[in-house]
Each structure stands twice: as C-alpha cells, then as structure tokens.
Amino acid sequence: MRHAQTCPLRGRAIYERAMRRLSAAGARLLLSALLALATALPLAAAAADAVPTAQDPVAASRAVKLSEKLRCLVCQNQSIAESNAELALDLRRQIHEQIAAGKSDEQIVDYMVARYGDFVLYQPPVKATTVLLWAGPALLMLLGFFILARTLRARRRLAAEPPLSAAEHERAARLLAGDAGKEDS
Amino acid sequence: MKKRLIPLAIFVVLVGFLLVGLGLNPREVPSPLIDKPAPQFTLAQLHEPAKMLGTADLKGQVWLLNVWASWCVSCREEHPLLVELSRAKIVPIVGLNYKDEPQAGKGWLRQFGDPYSVSVIDRDGRVGIDFGVYGVPETFVIDKQGTIRYKQIGPVTAEALEKKILPLVRELQAASANVPAPRARS
C-alpha cells in the first residue's frame, strides 16, 4: 500500500469515498454496514458513471473507445475503461466532458499525453526512443532467418561430405562388432 | 570452444537485463511536465476559502508543491520531514489538498502539524490531473520562472530530500540575484 495507488475492485472505490466522508465521525458500525453494501453496489456505480453521455450513444461509444486506448496509471495493466481506481474515474469524466465540449479524439489523447506522458498510450508513438520497440520484432525475425539460413547451409555441407573410404568402413565395422561383442558378454 | 560460449554470453546478457529490471520501479512514470511551465491554477485556500491562490502569486520564488490528502496513508510517512523542512524555512511548501474534505484536511493538519505556507483545495482533483498526479503524495519543485524542475512520486524520503530536492532548491534559489526571502505562514 505505497502511495494511494491501490487498484480497487468494483465497489471498493465507493467504500473508500464513503470512508473519507465518515472517517472524522468515526461511525465504525455504519462503515462495516457500508462495506457490506458496497459489494452490492457495483451496478449502481456503473450506471452513475455512464450518465453524462448516456443520452448520446455515438459520444458514449467514442468515450469507451478512447478510454480503452488509455492506460490507467494506478492499475497499470488496466485501461482507463476497465479500472476502478479513483484516477480512472476522474479521467473517464474528463473524456466525457471533453467530448461534450466538442474536442476531437486526437485532442483528448494529446491532453492525456501532455499530463501523463506516452506511458498512457497502449500503442506508443514511433519516435527515436521507441524505434527499437517497434522494429525489435522485425529485427528478431531477420536474425532468426539468418540463423536458419546458416544452419541449413551447414547441414547441406555435411550432407555433401565424401562417403567413407574402404579403410574407414572397415574400422567402423570393427568398432560396431566390438561393441556388440561387449554388449553380449 | 567459442561456439560453446555463445549460450553463456546470452545468459549473462539476459541476467544483466533482469538485474537492471529489478532496480526499476514501474510505478514511477517519468512526468512529461519536467522542464515545462507549471499548469496554471487559481484555487481557494484551505484555511481561508474566501482567499484564492494562483500560480501567478508564486512567481519569482522557488517553491514546492506537495500533493496531499487526509485519506492518504503514505502522506503520514513523509509528513514529519515536511514539517521539519518548513521549520528550517528554506523553501515555501504549497499544499495541494487533493480530493479531500476541507474539514478532514484541516483536522489532519491540526493533528500532525502544518508544514504548508498555504494549502489550496483541489476538491475534484482537476488541478491534480493538470499536474499529472496519479498517486498521492507527489511533490514538485518549481523554479522562479514557474517551471517544474523535479517531481517526487510517492513520499518524500530523507534521502530524496538531501540528495535531490534540497540541492536543486539551493541551486534554483541561487539562479537569480534577487532571492525573495522564503516565507512561512504567519
């Protein structure tokens, strides 16, 4: 629990917000009741979250698509669409508001990148610092082809080696017989 | 013989990468705001909500912006250090009371001490977003021109304070001739 960077499960954020309001009052009993209630609340929370663009299905789907492209900085393996961290809630609200204000998707993404860096993008832009990231797989494949070609050539050379001479045949036969003899005894 | 060493070499390189990876903290996302002007804000003060404080009021001096909240557990970890720093009157610390109840915030300061020259209320976390805050506490060092020079993600530690923040603050304070005296809240 370093920082306030926890990844809440559904309902947890509601509990934490309630906790914040009540912590001064110290109403512990009420809190545990709330905790129980909070586990039953996720549907209500999802509904409340969807209100701003609910009237406009196009805007709503834009908001969802955008928030799926953006990474939540608190729960780093979740997108802003999936995460229930407070920050993700706030950023979803930002997206809704900016769509309502007529901003383009690009402007909204730029807004996020200006504040949180390329890290918020699941698909990082091609830059001097990310060239290796983008070209890496292709380079690895080229390396693979190179090794494959070399191996195949080496194998062909092996196949092309001259057959055994008569003396070598004899030695091989002797060795084989000797081995067999040992095995038998 | 050389060929046999290749897998070993690959293994050593891999271990090297993994070792470096162990030392990295994926939670610390470098801020794109470093060396950029601090986002403008005008917010009500925690102790005198009728009074506003804005970025413009702080121009001309080096200051710290500390993002805190009464609900933030690790803020308590860094708090004694901040109180000590404010007593030394080296640099004014502005508190951004992030997504907090003003009453709870004030109570928290009464309980643990108030290191802030001023605290401002960021009730819905919008200014926090402008500053790219994603975990509380966070601390920014802002220079006389209003440029963000450093960001501490997570609690300020004694080490970070001595090795990074204070040297930087002194350097920035020395940057211009007319150094305004650091003020603490009267």
Task: Please check whether residue B54 is in contact with residue B40, taking contact to mean a CB–CB distance below 8 angstroms.
Answer: yes
B67 at interface of A, judged by CB pairs closer than 8 A: no
Distance CA B98, CA B77 (A): 17
d(CA A3, CA A152): 55
Tell whether A39 and A96 lie within a shared domain. yes
User: B111 in contact with A at a CB cutoff of 8 Å?
Assistant: no
Q: Where are the beta strands (DSSP E) in chain A?
A: none
- Residue B20 in any domain: the answer is no
Residue numbers in chain B where pLDDT is lower than 50:
177-186
> How many domains in chain A?
2
Task: Give the span between the Cα atoms of B169 and B8, in whole angstroms.
Answer: 47
Instruction: Indicate whether A5 belongs to any domain.
Output: no
User: Has residue A98 been placed in a domain?
Assistant: yes
State residue A180's pLDDT score: 55
CA distance A97 to A114: 17
Strand pairing class (B93-98; B63-68): parallel
Mutate to test the interface with B, among A115, A120, A127 (most CBs of B within 10 A): A115
ipTM of the complex: 0.79
Asked if pLDDT for residue A14 goes beyond 50, the answer is yes
- The reply to whether B146 falls in a domain is yes
My answer on whether A134 and A156 are in the same domain is yes
A37 band by pLDDT with thresholds 50, 70 and 90: low
Partners of B44 in the beta sheet? Answer: B52
The number of domains in chain B is: 1
Nearest to A93 by CA among A66, A69, A123: A66
Token look-up 């046999």 returns: B4
- pLDDT in the model for residue A141: 97
> Are A109 and A142 within one domain?
no
pLDDT band at A39, cuts 50/70/90? Answer: low
Domain of A137?
Answer: 129-184
Interface size A-B, in CB pairs within 8 Å, comes to 79
Q: Are residues A81 and A28 both part of a single domain?
A: yes
pLDDT in tens, A47-105: 445 445 557 888 889 999 999 999 998 888 899 999 988 899 999 999 999 999 999 99
Decide which of A108, A125, A142 is a domain's last residue: A125
Give the domain CATH number at B111: 3.40.30.10
Q: How confident is the model at residue A139, as a pLDDT?
A: 96
What local confidence, expressed as pLDDT, does residue B29 receive? Answer: 85
Q: Tell whether A69 and A134 lie within a shared domain.
A: no
> Where residue A9 falls among pLDDT bands split at 50, 70, 90?
low
Q: Give A129's Cβ-side CA count (13 Å radius).
A: 4
Contacts of A9 (CB under 8 A, 6+ apart): A84
Q: How is residue A72 written in tokens?
A: 């939540």
Listed by number, the residues of chain B in 140-159 with a beta carbon closer than 8 Å to a beta carbon of chain A are 153-155
Separation between Cα atoms, residue B70 and residue B46, nearest integer Å: 13
> In the predicted model, is pLDDT for residue A177 greater than 50?
yes
- pLDDT, position B122: 95
For residue B101, what are the CA distances in angstroms to A118, A179, B46, B74?
32, 88, 10, 18
Task: Check residue A40 and give its pLDDT.
Answer: 56
In a domain, B65, yes or no: yes
Residue B116 lies in a domain: yes
Contact yes or no for A67/A79 (Cβ under 8 A) = yes
What's the full length of chain A, in residues? 185
Interface membership of A151 toward B (CB under 8 Å): no
Say yes or no: A77 contacts chain B, CB-CB below 8 A: no
For chain B, say whether A147 makes contact (Cβ under 8 Å).
no
**Looking at the domain assignment, is residue A39 inside a domain?**
yes
Tell me, what CATH number does A72's domain have?
Answer: 1.10.8.640
What percent of chain A shows pLDDT beyond 90?
35
Which residues, 6 or more positions from B75, have their beta carbon under 8 angstroms from its beta carbon?
B68, B69, B136, B137, B155
The residues with which B54 forms a beta bridge, in sequence order, are: B42
Q: Let me know if residue A136 belongs to a domain.
A: yes
pLDDT in tens, A113-157: 999 998 899 888 888 888 988 999 999 999 999 999 999 998 888
Q: Which domain holds residue B96?
A: 30-174
Between CA B53 and CA B119, with CA B36 as vertex, the angle to 5 degrees is 25
Looking at the fold, whether A100 and A154 belong to one and the same domain comes out as no
**Partners of residue B53 on adjacent β-strands:** B43
Q: Is the domain of A109 the same as that of A133?
A: no
The whole-number pLDDT of residue A58 equals 87
Say yes or no: A121 and A142 in one domain.
no
Q: Tell me the per-residue pLDDT of B103-147, one tens digit each, with 9 for 90 and over.
A: 999 999 999 999 999 999 999 999 999 999 998 899 999 999 999
- Is residue A1 assigned to a domain? no
Note whether A66 and A136 are same-domain residues.
no
Q: Could you tell me the two tokens for B102?
A: 């003003």
Whether A50 is in a domain gets the answer: yes
Measured between beta carbons, which residues in chain A are less than 8 angstroms from residue B71? 4, 16, 19-20, 23
Both A101 and A18 in one domain: the answer is: yes
Note whether A69 and A123 are within 8 A (CB): yes
Residue A72 domain-assigned (yes or no) = yes
Q: Classify residue A7: in a domain, yes or no.
A: no
Do both A109 and A136 map to the same domain? no
- Is A115 found in the same domain as A37? yes
Q: What is the reported pLDDT for A18?
A: 55
